[in-house]
């Protein structure tokens, strides 16, 4: 029986991504040649339309905001181009984009200003998902393949968020959002279920962490390889990237 293989990637937050980690991912795609690709969202930071930047401040006129938002669109598309180039080389046709909470900021920006801006500022249009060949999953939606569910990961938090997901959902699930690498299993009456948080691909250096006040983080760079086989059963291989390097199938990949 042929295995159907997917590469699954977490938060990149272009242009605040870690370029070495992205390079490792792209090389891995070309080595693995998966049948499909799943992006768990927060593909962009989208700072230009973030409501956080105007906290305790008066939001400026739209013409002041637009140059930064337009630059975000350019930067995120450049980041996606890197990954899509490797997916094209590997002849990957089945691609999914699961919208993250940062990505949804673009939708909110459009909704607040729809009488003044074009629909190109909706997230799915800004990153050209249709042209790129991605199937679009709006924020909050779950993508189910076999016996595993995928979504961005923003519903259930806490230190043990993988366990919280299992207790609330009762199903196998994989997500990003929390930026750390974590896995839990719980046995239900119908068998064991597991949840995976697969880290991020965002820059984790201290000078980039002003948004966290410079405090320590437990984030990790990673992506996953998921193989589906008989009756929707699957195996998960979480590939961690340490200092821009990883080992995959006995081969050292350097970013």
Q: Which residue has the tokens 């609330």?
A: 168
Per-residue tens of pLDDT for the chain, all 255 residues: 689 999 999 999 999 999 999 999 999 999 999 999 999 999 999 998 877 676 666 777 888 889 999 999 999 999 999 999 999 999 999 999 999 999 999 999 999 888 888 899 999 999 999 999 999 999 999 999 999 999 999 888 888 999 999 999 999 999 999 999 999 999 988 899 999 999 999 998 865 566 556 666 789 999 999 999 988 999 999 999 999 999 999 999 999
Residues in Cβ contact with 96 at an 8 Å cutoff, skipping those fewer than 6 apart: 36, 37, 38, 39, 134, 135, 137, 143, 150
| pLDDT at 214 (0 to 100) | 60
The pTM of this model reads: 0.94
Pair 248, 30: CB distance under 8 Å: no
Pair 173, 188: CB distance under 8 Å: no
| pLDDT at 117 (0 to 100) | 82
| pLDDT at 183 (0 to 100) | 97
| C-alpha dihedral (218, 104, 76, 6), degrees to nearest 10 | 70
Sign of the alpha-carbon dihedral angle for 20, 26, 29, 35? positive
């Amino acid at each position: 029986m042929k295995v159907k293989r997917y590469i699954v990637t977490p938060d990149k937050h272009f242009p605040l991504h870690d370029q070495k980690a992205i390079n490792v991912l792209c090389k891995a795609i070309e080595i693995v040649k998966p049948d499909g690709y799943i992006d768990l969202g927060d593909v962009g930071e989208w700072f230009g339309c973030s409501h956080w930047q105007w906290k305790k401040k008066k939001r400026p006129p739209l013409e002041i905001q637009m140059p930064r938002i337009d630059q975000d669109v350019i930067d995120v598309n450049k980041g996606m181009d890197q990954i899509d180039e490797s997916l094209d080389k590997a002849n990957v046709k089945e691609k999914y984009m699961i919208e993250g909470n940062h990505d949804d900021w673009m939708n909110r920006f459009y909704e607040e200003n729809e009488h003044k801006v074009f629909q190109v500022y909706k997230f799915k249009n800004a990153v050209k998902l249709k042209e790129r060949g991605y199937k679009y999953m709006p924020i909050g939606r779950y993508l189910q393949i076999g016996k595993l569910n995928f979504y961005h990961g923003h519903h259930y938090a806490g230190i043990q968020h993988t366990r919280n997901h299992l207790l609330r959902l009762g199903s196998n699930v994989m997500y990003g959002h929390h930026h750390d690498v974590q896995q839990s299993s719980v046995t239900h009456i119908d068998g064991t279920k597991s949840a995976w948080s697969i880290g991020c691909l965002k820059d984790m250096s201290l000078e980039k962490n002003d948004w966290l006040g410079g405090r320590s983080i437990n984030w990790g760079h990673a992506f996953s390889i998921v193989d589906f086989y008989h009756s929707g059963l699957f195996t998960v291989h979480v590939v961690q990237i340490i200092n821009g390097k990883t080992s995959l199938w006995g081969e050292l990949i350097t970013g």
